[in-house]
Amino acid sequence: MSAELAFNRSVDVDYGVAEEVAPQVRRIVANNPSPYTFLGTNTYIVGRGRVAVIDPGPACEQHLAAIVEATRGERVTHILITHSHRDHCDGARGLQALVGGEILSFGPTGTERGAGAPGLGEAFVDPAFRPDRTLHDGDVVKAGGVALDVLHTPGHAPDHLCFALVGQRTVFTGDHVMGWNTTVIAPPEGSMAKFLASLEKLLPRHDKVFLPAHGGRVQTPQRVVKAYIMHRQWREQTILTCLEDGVSTIPRIVAKIYGDLDADLKAAAALSVLAHLEHMISRGLVRETGQTGHAAQPAAGTEAGLASVYSVSPGASSPASS
C-alpha cells in the first residue's frame, strides 16, 4: 500500500481574473493563500446569462469586485456554499448585496463545530452562518442552461456539499477532494468515518473532472478518490503499529509519524490522529485506557481525546481490511 499521493501543485494563478476552466465554468481565484487554502479559494461562475456562483470566498473587497466584473451583463441567481468555512462563505452576504442571488447551503447541522488548533477554530469556521434556503442531498439547483446535483459529503465539515454539473461529468468538490493536498479532518468539526463514507459516495460515479475549492482541476477523479482512501488506510495502519509498539499518546504518535513540524501544523496533525483514533474506537479496534498522558485530567471532548492514552483492543488485529 503506497503512502504517497501525487499532488499537482503547479498551478499558475492570476488573482481576480476570470478564466474558463470547463464548458460553462469560469474560475476566479481569491488572493487568500495560506497553508490551509493553498494559492487561495477558487470561486466558480457556472452557466451563462443567468449564473450560479459557487463559493464567493473570503470577505475580500477586491475579490468580490472581480466577481461583479466577471458577471457584468448577467444575472446571479444563486450563491452556493460548499461549507461554512470562512474562506468559502464569508463573502456571501457582501456579494449578495452587490449582485443579488439566493444564498444556498446545507445549513446548520446541530453538531459541535470548530476544532481546537490554531487557525482551525472560529477564525476558520463560521458556526453562525445561515443560508437563505437550505439544500439537501439529492436536490437539484438550476441556473442559466445548467443543472447542479447536490451531494452531501460530510467529513471535512459536517455541512459539506459537492455540486455535480449534470451532463458534464464534472463535480465541484469544495474541500472534500483536492488536487494539491489531503483534506484536513479535525474533530469535532471533522469526522473520519463520515469523510471515508463521503469518498465512497464518489467512487461509483463516472466523473471526468473535479474542480476543487483550492488548487487546479483533478483530471483523474476516481484514481484520486481511491488514493485518498488508501492513504487513510495506510495512516490508520501506521497509527495501529505505533500503539502496538507502545507509542500510545497522540503527541508521541505525531512526533513519530510526522517528525518535526511547526507548532500550528503539529496541532492540526494531532487532531488528524485523533480523527483516526475515534474512527478505530467506533469500530472496536482501539480503546481509550482511561488514563491521560500527563497529570491533569482535562474536562471532556476533543481536549480529553487529545490527552488520552490509547491501546489496541484485545483481540483486534488485521485492522486495515475492515
Stretch near Zn ion under the rule CB under 5 A, chosen from 55-63, 89-97, 168-176, 273-281: 168-176
Whether 79 and 53 have beta carbons less than 8 Å apart is answered as yes
Amino acid at 43: T
**Closer CB to Zn ion, residue 95 or residue 125?**
125
Taking the complex as a whole, the smallest distance from the CB of residue 156 to Zn ion amounts, in Å, to 6
CB of 176 to Zn ion, least distance (A): 9
279 binds Zn ion (CB under 5 A): no
263 exposed, middle or buried (CB, 10 Å; 0-12, 13-18, 19+)? exposed
Nearer to Zn ion, 39 or 253 (CB): 39
Nearest residue to Zn ion, by Cβ distance, number only: 85
Q: Which CB, 26 or 85, lies closer to Zn ion? A: 85
Residue 184 Cβ, how far from Zn ion at the closest point, in Å? 7
From residue 163, give the alpha-carbon distance in Å to each of 46, 121, 166, 221, 303. Answer: 11, 26, 9, 14, 34
| Piece of the chain touching Zn ion by CB under 5 A; list 80-88, 113-121, 269-277, 297-305 | 80-88
**Smaller CB distance to Zn ion: residue 126 or 175?**
175
DSSP state of 204: T
Beta bridge partners of 315: none
Q: What is the contact mask toward Zn ion in residues 232 to 261, using x (rule: CB under 5 A)?
A: ------------------------------
Binding range to Zn ion, per CB under 5 A, among 53-61, 83-91, 163-171, 271-279: 83-91
- Give the CB-side neighbour count of residue 32, counting CA atoms within 13 A: 24
The one-letter amino acid code at 86 reads R
Q: Which residue has the cell 484520486?
A: 224
CB of 68 to Zn ion, least distance (A): 24
Judged by beta carbon, residue 71 or residue 153, the one nearer Zn ion is 153
For 26, the grid coordinates are 469560469
* Cell, residue 240: 495501529
Smaller CB separation from Zn ion, 199 or 243: 199
Binding mask 104-123 for Zn ion (x = CB under 5 A): --------------------
Report if residue 214 touches Zn ion, rule: CB under 5 A.
no
Residue (of 204, 200, 198, 120) closest to 159 by Cα position = 198
Place of cell 480529553: 304
> Looking only at Cα atoms, what is the longest distance across the chain?
66
Q: How many residues bind Zn ion (CB under 5 A)?
A: 2
Q: At what angle do helices 221-244 and 250-258 cross, to 10 degrees?
A: 120
Out of 26, 63, 85, 276, point to the residue binding Zn ion (CB under 5 A). Answer: 85
CB–CB of 136/158 below 8 Å?
Answer: no
* Distance in angstroms (rounded) separating the CA atoms of residues 85 and 159: 10
310 three-class SS? strand
* CB closer to Zn ion, 81 vs 280: 81
Give the three-state DSSP class for 131.
coil
Q: Tell the smallest beta-carbon distance from residue 142 to Zn ion (Å).
A: 26
Asked if 158 and 150 touch (Cβ cutoff 8 Å), the reply is no
Which range binds Zn ion by CB under 5 A, 5-13, 71-79, 99-107, 170-178?
170-178
Nearer to Zn ion, 89 or 247 (CB): 89
The reply on whether position 175 binds Zn ion by CB under 5 A is yes
Q: Which residues bind Zn ion (CB under 5 A)?
A: 85, 175
